[in-house]
Amino acid sequence: MESVDVAFGHRLWWVDAFVGDTERGNPAVVVLLEHPLADHAMQAMAAELGVSETAFVRRVGDQWSLRWFTPTVEVDLCGHATLATLHVVLAELEAPGGELYFATRSGTLSGRRLREGLLAIDLPRSYLEPLDPAVLGDAVGEVAEAFQAGASTVLAVVEDYDALCALSVDPMALFLAPATIVIAACPGGPGADVSIRVFAPRLGIAEDPVTGSALCAVAPWWMERVGAPTVTVRQVSARGGVMHARLFERTVEVAGLARTFFHGEVRP
């Protein structure tokens, strides 16, 4: 019996984040690390799993260490995978309610339960600077106005919901844009204040299904546009997603629903 391997691997959960009545949300795989894992091993695992983001979470003292990997690179911030991780810690690991804290490359992020099953995470808000739409070329079609939202993100405002849905984006053209992430947005949309699409080919993601971190830029833009600190956002993708945000001085509280699709064990 000494030769029988009874060691467990790392537990994982496939979670759909920012789901709605008909929206399937954005899948993230949350891997609970029983012990530290080398960076190259996490990257290889994320590539094998193949979803837009894999979150690696590990308990460290009174908080959780959290890192995010696309199939090709580690990223500094991911909203939907953070919401998925919060769901796993609360619903699957049955951690006590209240405020939870995650140590990340973007600082300490917090999360909590809200009403009616909603979960909320606090993400760092972006500060917008006007940008000449011409720098985007034809990457996202005709743009009414554009904003730089930090070093890595551009928010491009298109005319209306029909124009947003009709966008035909060339991922190669987006490599010439001054951003890693390009958010195309418009006012309105079915059951929403704002509708968006998000493209990140430099991260190995041609178009993201649902992007919680996009609200770090969308919420300040909406506040400047209409003076409202709250906004409901629909992401127009094949899977679709619904997000809610409240803008604060330094953060954006991003809220949505999440559900576990399956769970299992991975042996790296």
Catalytic machinery residues: 53
Q: Specify the amino acid at residue 226.
A: V
Q: Which two tokens stand for residue 85?
A: 């991780």
Buried b (16+ CB within 10 A) or exposed e, 215-238: bbbbbbbbbeeeeeeebebbbbbe
* Residue owning tokens 């808000």: 125
Q: Which two tokens stand for residue 59?
A: 């308990």
Q: Which two tokens stand for residue 209?
A: 């299904």
Specify whether the CB–CB gap between 47 and 53 falls below 8 A: no
DSSP-derived secondary structure letter, 159: S
Q: Which two tokens stand for residue 81?
A: 């995978």
Measured CA to CA, the distance from residue 27 to residue 54 in angstroms comes to 9
Q: Which two tokens stand for residue 172?
A: 């190669």
Residue 252, Cβ density class (10 Å: 0-12 exposed, 13-18 middle, ≥19 buried): buried
Tell me phi and psi for residue 255, to 5 degrees: -125, 150
DSSP 248-260: -SSEEEEEEEEEE
Report the Cα 163 to chain-centroid distance in Å: 23
Tell me phi and psi for residue 39, to 5 degrees: -55, -45
Q: Specify the amino acid at residue 79.
A: G
